[in-house]
Amino acid sequence: DVKVTQSSRYLVKRTGEKVFLECVQDMDHENMFWYRQDPGLGLRLIYFSYDVKMKEKGDIPEGYSVSREKKERFSLILESASTNQTSMYLCASSGSKGRALKAFFGQGTRLTVV
């Protein structure tokens, strides 16, 4: 089975802190994604990457950056955390070249910014 692992289940950070969310997948997948889930808004794409050192902006990239130094690892960085970034963050990966298709998700990180 594909395993997508996010480093933390729950995080509490202070406003203005730099926050790192880590994601690792073990299936040699090309594509990796970061989404956030908010009630009534569904899952919104923040950033994605289809290759090492490549990144593309999703629908809501403002306030975030990403890093993909190795194929299996995709990090989401909140440069200066704000309370409106309190959310559930979900990492996903998929193996189809150039297509998301059937993406596999991690267990999520519930981030609270106080």
Partner 1 sequence: DQQVKQNSPSLSVQEGRISILNCDYTNSMFDYFLWYKKYPAEGPTFLISISSIKDKNEDGRFTVFLNKSAKHLSLHIVPSQPGDSAVYFCAAEETSGSRLTFGEGTQLTVNP
Residues lying near partner 1 in the complex (CB under 8 A) are found at: 4, 9, 31, 33, 35, 40-45, 48, 50, 56, 58, 90, 92, 96, 98-108, 110
Closest to partner 1 by CB, 34 vs 75, is 34
Which residues neighbour 104 within 8 Å (Cβ) at sequence distance 6 or greater?
2, 4, 25, 27, 29, 92, 93, 94
Q: How far apart are CA 97 and CA 20, in angstroms?
A: 27
Shortest spacing between CB 114 and partner 1, in angstroms: 20
Closest to partner 1 by CB, 31 vs 85, is 31
Query: Would you say 27 and 1 are in contact if contact means Cβ atoms under 8 Å apart?
Result: no
Query: Would you say 66 and 18 are in contact if contact means Cβ atoms under 8 Å apart?
Result: no
Closest to partner 1 by CB, 14 vs 42, is 42
